[in-house]
């Protein structure tokens, strides 16, 4: 009888997830989403940026967004983490469509997964638009201004150069 070997445990990765929503009670939704992420297995040392309100990217006939970024360490493989984040989105009523920049009850994107660069049909890390989005870069700068985004540069140098999207820091956070 052959013995089964357990899969090797992944080295914990420092992960940054961008959160956003523009439907319903936006602040409360992000607060609950942060708790859901914190309760994921293999997640530790969660930190959350301030919340920011921004104009919608794309069609302007939708409500403003509330955005934030959370940072944590996880031993979860990147695609498995994506599955877990999409399950949280579904629990919040997120319906995926082919329409880009549509209104959302919750959007959770893996912005960074360690210093890895991933490009698969399901996942691109660093997030494809990370260097052009103040609603990701400003919260990232709050958590770690010296963070290097692979292939893009240092957060503190990228943030002032990107479109603002009417970004406004809120007092209300987690």
- Residues serving a catalytic function are 94, 104, 107, 109
Q: Is the pLDDT of residue 95 over 60?
A: yes
Map out the domains of the chain with their CATH numbers. Answer: 13-129 (3.30.70.560)
Provide φ and ψ at 168, rounded to 5°: -140, 125
Which residues make beta-bridge pairs with 112?
16
- Give the model's pLDDT for residue 3: 41
Q: What is the pLDDT of residue 56?
A: 86
Please tell me the predicted confidence (pLDDT) of residue 101: 63
Q: What is the mean pLDDT of residues 92-98?
A: 71
CA angle 106, 107, 110 (to 5 degrees): 145
1 by DSSP, 3-state: which? coil
**71, 142 in Cβ contact below 8 A?**
no
Q: What is the pLDDT of residues 62-84, one digit of tens each?
A: 899 999 999 999 999 999 999 99
Least confident range of 6-10, 27-31, 51-55: 6-10
Q: pLDDT digit string (tens) for 13-38? A: 999 999 999 999 999 999 999 999 99
Greatest C-alpha distance within the chain? 64
pLDDT value at 99 more than 80: no
């Amino acid at each position: 009888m052959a013995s089964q070997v357990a899969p090797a445990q992944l080295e914990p990765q420092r992960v940054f997830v961008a959160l956003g929503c523009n439907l319903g009670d936006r602040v409360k939704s992000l607060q609950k989403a942060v708790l859901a992420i914190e309760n994921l297995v293999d997640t530790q040392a969660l930190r959350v940026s301030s919340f920011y309100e921004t104009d919608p990217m794309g069609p302007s006939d939708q409500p403003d967004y509330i955005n934030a970024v959370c940072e944590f360490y996880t031993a979860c493989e990147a695609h498995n983490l994506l599955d877990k984040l999409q399950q949280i989105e579904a629990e919040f009523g997120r319906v995926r469509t082919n329409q880009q920049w549509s209104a959302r009850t919750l959007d959770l994107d893996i912005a960074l997964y360690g210093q890895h660069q991933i490009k698969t049909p399901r996942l691109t890390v660093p997030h494809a638009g990370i260097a052009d989005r103040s609603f990701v870069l400003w919260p990232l700068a709050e958590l770690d201004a010296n963070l290097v985004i692979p292939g893009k540069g240092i957060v503190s140098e990228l943030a002032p150069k990107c479109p603002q999207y009417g970004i406004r820091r809120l007092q209300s956070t987690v």
